[in-house]
């Protein structure tokens, strides 16, 4: 199972769990709302029976009806007549305390509060009409109880907590995976540098003996360049994982050195041109590592062109940033793979580990506080761009 499929399954599973939870919670809210409606209908029936008992010789149990009315301690209710006059109110948190000596009297603030509540409830479905007598109606308005209101928001709070938890777990796992990858890269780089050290030292010793053995000086000079190059490569590998020395340097000079070296080591059918900015571009660089990045990008461009084409390197400034663009005339990178090219192990070559661009991004992002990305790509070629902060 690849990483993309695993992520998709994870997200789909999470979405299904959230949907099921919301469905169940919504059902509970709906059931509780129906129960509160039924309680209010019983409350309305009790009110009607009490009023009817005063107008007739009814044998209804008044105490029982009063207990029904008094039992409502959670659902705010308003009882009005046909003219909209408030006859009774219960369970509202009023802005001002009720006068204990005259509990039926309402202060102006309390009266306005209840009138506003009545206006809001008049447009809702929480209304029960009570027929007191032929031609006489009362109306019972009620709000959802505090428990029901909280339950309505509860699912979304839980879902938000679940999403936050899943995100924390996801990024924790991702960070752990990246840390493990970093350890592998660092270990691989340092072990490579260590393994190269012994044969390079031996070759350097032989280079000193070759002139005495009658080998042509020009040949020795060219061989010495390659041995020195091997030593530089080993030094680059040893710097991965440690804190490299970052010093002010001219970006044009560093790129010029890398382009000059690679220009003599690629096919003559590939035109490599470097167009530097007219002025110095001073940035903080670890020059050996940055040259490595440039060589990796040039090698990738060469591979993309199948031995024939052009590579154009340009530099410049954009605001407070310096930039380098490496454009080739290769076969391009599909849009879906333009971000994956920097992932460990991704490669289109038959031979290779897919670590070149990954290490390049690490060098640019972590050591130079810059950015590297695919600026554009099409079947006519690809352009990589590196941004670095100016000094």
| DSSP assignment string, 5-24 | HHHHHHHHHHHHHHHHHHHH
Residues of the chain with pLDDT under 70: 1-3, 53-66, 99-101, 103-104, 185, 239-242, 344-355
Instruction: Give ranges for CATH 3.30.565.10 in the chain.
Output: 245-389
- Model confidence pLDDT, tens digit, residues 78-103: 888 888 888 888 888 888 887 666 76
Q: How far apart are CA 389 and CA 391, in angstroms?
A: 7
Helix intervals (H) in 56-144: 62-70, 108-122
Strands 371-378 and 309-318 come out as unpaired
Strands 371-378 and 321-328 come out as unpaired
Q: How far apart are CA 193 and CA 198, in angstroms?
A: 9
Q: Of 337, 345, 348, give the one whose Cα is nearest residue 374.
A: 337
What residue has token string 């603030």? 109
Q: Which two tokens stand for residue 349?
A: 């070559």
Contact 250, 280 (CB under 8 A): yes
Contact 283, 322 (CB under 8 A): yes
Helix intervals (H) in the chain: 3-55, 62-70, 108-122, 146-209, 217-239, 251-263, 287-304, 356-362
| CATH fold group of domain 245-389 | Heat Shock Protein 90 (3.30.565)
Which SS3 state, helix, strand or coil, does residue 1 take? coil
Q: What is the DSSP letter of 337?
A: G
Strands 381-389 and 321-328 come out as antiparallel
pLDDT recorded at residue 352: 54
pLDDT recorded at residue 61: 63
pLDDT recorded at residue 85: 86
Contact 226, 261 (CB under 8 A): no
pLDDT recorded at residue 375: 93
């Amino acid at each position: 199972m690849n990483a993309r499929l695993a992520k998709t399954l994870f997200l789909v599973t999470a979405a299904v769990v959230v949907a099921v939870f919301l469905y169940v919670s919504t059902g509970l809210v709906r059931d509780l709302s129906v129960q509160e409606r039924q309680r209010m209908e019983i409350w309305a029936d009790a009110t009607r029976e009490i009023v009817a008992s005063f107008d007739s010789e009814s044998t209804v149990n008044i105490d029982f009806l009063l207990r029904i009315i008094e039992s409502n301690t959670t659902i705010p209710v308003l009882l009005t007549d046909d003219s909209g006059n408030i006859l009774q109110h219960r369970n509202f948190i009023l802005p001002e305390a009720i006068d204990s000596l005259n509990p039926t009297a309402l202060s102006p603030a309390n009266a306005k509060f209840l009138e506003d509540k009545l206006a809001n409830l008049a447009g809702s479905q929480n209304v029960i009409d009570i027929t007191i007598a032929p031609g006489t109606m009362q109306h019972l308005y009620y709000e959802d109880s505090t428990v029901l209101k909280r339950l309505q928001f509860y699912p979304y709070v839980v879902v938000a907590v679940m999403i936050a938890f899943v995100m924390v777990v996801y990024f924790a796992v991702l960070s752990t995976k990246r840390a493990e990858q970093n350890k592998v890269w660092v270990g691989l780089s340092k072990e490579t540098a260590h393994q190269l050290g012994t044969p390079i030292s031996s070759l350097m010793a032989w280079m000193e003996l070759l002139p005495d053995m009658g080998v042509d000086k020009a040949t020795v000079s060219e061989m010495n360049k390659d041995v020195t190059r091997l030593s530089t490569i080993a030094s680059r590998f040893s710097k991965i994982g440690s804190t490299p020395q970052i010093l002010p340097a001219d970006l044009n000079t560093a790129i010029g050195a890398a382009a000059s070296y690679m220009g003599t080591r690629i096919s003559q059918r590939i035109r490599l041109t470097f167009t530097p900015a007219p002025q110095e571009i001073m940035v903080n660089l670890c020059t050996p590592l940055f040259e490595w990045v440039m060589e990796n990008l040039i090698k990738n461009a060469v591979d993309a062109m199948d031995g024939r084409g052009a590579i154009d390197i340009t530099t410049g400034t954009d605001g407070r940033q310096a930039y380098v663009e490496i454009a080739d005339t290769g076969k391009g990178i599909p849009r879906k793979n333009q971000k994956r090219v920097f992932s460990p192990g991704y490669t289109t070559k038959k031979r290779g580990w897919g670590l070149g661009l990954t290490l390049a991004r690490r060098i640019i992002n972590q050591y130079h506080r810059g950015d590297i990305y695919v600026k554009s790509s099409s079947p006519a070629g690809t352009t990589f761009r590196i941004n670095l902060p100016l000094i």
